[in-house]
A and B are shown apart, each in its own frame.
Chain A
């Protein structure tokens, strides 16, 4: 559990030094200083980089912040040529695709986590587990490309009609649209990318449940599912939530695959089968060819919003994971 294991726990305090009475010679003293200096330099570089990121994005965005204010967040029209900039279509697109794919990815990912940790025979689990993780290794540009060529048309011809027929009373599943590029296709693509994260993390989390608890539940004549529902899931709830928030952060920031399939339309359709856009995708599309300095600054304003989302996901996930680890320790 690289993410959770690297958190400060038992290892956060450096090992106490035993003071040796041997006098260090000059080389050793010098080398000690060089090493500690290098280490501090590394840490300083990290901090410097983070500070710089914040600085550059904020300062680049400030002309737009000054001109457009907070209304930017709710304005609905984005028309750079007319110098009208409103972020709402992209905030909407980002949130709705991220939330929808999070819901799907949580259902599927937690199920996979349960399967890998508790249901699969050990040998099968050692094969399927890495395969699920491989899914996370596929670069997003390829997933997006497959999205254009395969998933989009599939959604268009094979998913939209039946979903509309069955769930059409929910406005999200409106009538079929021409073309496969849509918010819904983007949701599917994001789900593919987030499922492996949640599956791998929840599998590790479920494996930390002490065996004595599950044995105790089994010894009370409970079925497998009752053990999972009554003991495993309640014990690991906050860890699972932390994993989901992490996945959510990933979905919020995904750029390329979404750019390729979402339709790049600055609109806010309720019908998910229509095209839309996300913050990341819009920045990627327009950043290199801004029509005006204000346009460029507005794009940086968008980047600032996205940065805020990403930072908040990381912080929230951290906080939840720390609480979970404290309780498991």
Chain B
């Protein structure tokens, strides 16, 4: 494939010579992360073994096999409705309360089966936190939003420091340091979402799952969230669902492409190092998606 300077691409590797199929993508796909696959040598945090998800009779996900590595940002991309969020939520058992939910296969977390009857759901979520698509701060003060979960966990010492650290890590401290006691509902959308991130990392989890964290936000707020992810992955393992390909290309080290397979059931099509997936996808469906042919 030839890429012109404007970002237009021309397919040229078809057998039988180049076919004049000009596809103009709206943004050049950045090529930030070249180099060896960052997964090499890293600890495996999640291993999905033949995972499938059913809601009652309806199958939503099938045959998911993938490994997610420590201290990397892994993006799940794909058209809407193909199960990315379902898979993400299965990683911290947030689907348990949905009626009819049933998981087939295994999700291993550091080798432990997440869905083992002896696994404690509350403990799972303490280690694997989540930030949701729509910011959902509690109707409490900014300080109390961040401090609530640590208090539950018994982390009562130096709460002020803990709150400050969390808010700084979420790049929100400077904006709110003078009004920590005011209601969190008075913040803007982007600030609320960063507050939710601060809240999630205040308890020092192992993994942070982000379910389309910027889709409800304006571009400037989105950019601030994306900057955070680069910092966050140094301390936590990040898994992010996004429907914005360019976002995945910007922030993720590895990317998994989900789509509807046979029987209209979501499945994992391709998974690998981000720049390779975007530059030379192995599967034609991946190529079709990342070149903007659908989705």
A binds B: yes
Interface size class of A (residues with CB under 8 A): 10 to 19
Contact between B136 and A221 (Cβ–Cβ < 8 Å)? no
Closest residue to A235 on the B side, CB-wise? B139
Q: Does B200 contact A (CB under 8 A)?
A: yes
Near A by CB (< 8 A), chain B positions 185-212 give 196, 199-200, 203, 205
Q: Does B13 contact A (CB under 8 A)?
A: no
Q: Does B220 contact A (CB under 8 A)?
A: no
Question: Which chain B residues lie closer than 8 Å to A213 at the CB level?
Answer: 136, 138
Near A by CB (< 8 A), chain B positions 120-160 give 122-123, 125-127, 129-130, 132, 134, 136-140, 148-149, 152-153
Q: Does A305 contact B (CB under 8 A)?
A: no
Which of A3-11, A103-111, A169-177, A222-230 binds B? A222-230
Q: Does A270 contact B (CB under 8 A)?
A: no
Q: Does A219 contact B (CB under 8 A)?
A: yes
Known: A122-B99, A230-B148. A217 touches B138 (CB 8 A): yes
Q: Does B1 contact A (CB under 8 A)?
A: no
Contact between B132 and A220 (Cβ–Cβ < 8 Å)? no
Contact residue among A122, A220, A230, A231 (Cβ-Cβ distance under 8 Å from B125): A220
Contact between B199 and A220 (Cβ–Cβ < 8 Å)? yes
Contact between A212 and B149 (Cβ–Cβ < 8 Å)? no
Q: Does B282 contact A (CB under 8 A)?
A: no
Closest residue to B127 on the A side, CB-wise? A221
- Measured between alpha carbons, how far is A235 from B125 in the docked complex, in Å? 23
Question: Which chain A residues lie closer than 8 Å to B136 at the CB level?
Answer: 210, 212-213, 215-216
Known: A216-B196, A231-B138, A234-B140. A221 touches B149 (CB 8 A): yes
Contact between B139 and A218 (Cβ–Cβ < 8 Å)? no
Which of A218, A219, A226, A234 has most chain B Cβ within 10 Å?
A219
Q: Does B237 contact A (CB under 8 A)?
A: no
- Measured between alpha carbons, how far is A127 from B123 in the docked complex, in Å? 32
User: Chain A at the B interface: mostly helix, strand, loop or mixed?
Assistant: helix
Contact between B132 and A216 (Cβ–Cβ < 8 Å)? yes
Known: A122-B99, A223-B122. A216 touches B138 (CB 8 A): yes
A41 to chain B, nearest CB (A): 45
Question: Which chain B residues lie closer than 8 Å to A216 at the CB level?
Answer: 132, 136-138, 196
Which of B123, B126, B136, B203 has most chain A Cβ within 10 Å?
B136
A81 to chain B, nearest CB (A): 60
How many chain B residues have a CB neighbour from A under 8 Å?
A: 27
Question: Which chain B residues lie closer than 8 Å to A215 at the CB level?
Answer: 94, 132, 136
Contact between B139 and A221 (Cβ–Cβ < 8 Å)? no
Q: How many A-B residue pairs have CB under 8 A?
A: 61
B88 to chain A, nearest CB (A): 12
Contact between B99 and A234 (Cβ–Cβ < 8 Å)? no
Question: Which chain A residues lie closer than 8 Å to B126 at the CB level?
Answer: 220-221
Contact between A221 and B138 (Cβ–Cβ < 8 Å)? no
Closest residue to A122 on the B side, CB-wise? B99
Contact residue among A122, A210, A222, A235 (Cβ-Cβ distance under 8 Å from B149): A222
- Measured between alpha carbons, how far is A235 from B148 in the docked complex, in Å? 15
- Measured between alpha carbons, how far is A122 from B99 in the docked complex, in Å? 9
- Measured between alpha carbons, how far is A25 from B226 in the docked complex, in Å? 67
Closest residue to B150 on the A side, CB-wise? A220
Known: A221-B123, A231-B138. A212 touches B132 (CB 8 A): yes
Question: Which chain A residues lie closer than 8 Å to B138 at the CB level?
Answer: 213, 216-217, 230-231
Question: Which chain B residues lie closer than 8 Å to A212 at the CB level?
Answer: 132, 134, 136
- Measured between alpha carbons, how far is A210 from B132 in the docked complex, in Å? 14
- Measured between alpha carbons, how far is A222 from B123 in the docked complex, in Å? 9
Near B by CB (< 8 A), chain A positions 179-217 give 210, 212-213, 215-217
Which of A210, A215, A216, A231 has most chain B Cβ within 10 Å?
A216
Contact between B125 and A221 (Cβ–Cβ < 8 Å)? yes
Question: Which chain A residues lie closer than 8 Å to B149 at the CB level?
Answer: 220-222
Q: A219-B92, A220-B129, A221-B153 are in contact. List 12 more A-B contacts (CB 8 A).
A: A210-B136, A212-B132, A219-B125, A220-B152, A221-B122, A221-B125, A221-B127, A222-B122, A223-B152, A230-B138, A230-B148, A234-B139
Q: Can you list 19 contacts pairing A with B, beta carbon distance less than 8 Å?
A: A210-B136, A212-B134, A216-B132, A216-B196, A217-B148, A219-B200, A220-B129, A220-B203, A221-B123, A221-B127, A221-B129, A221-B153, A222-B152, A223-B122, A223-B152, A226-B152, A230-B138, A230-B152, A234-B139
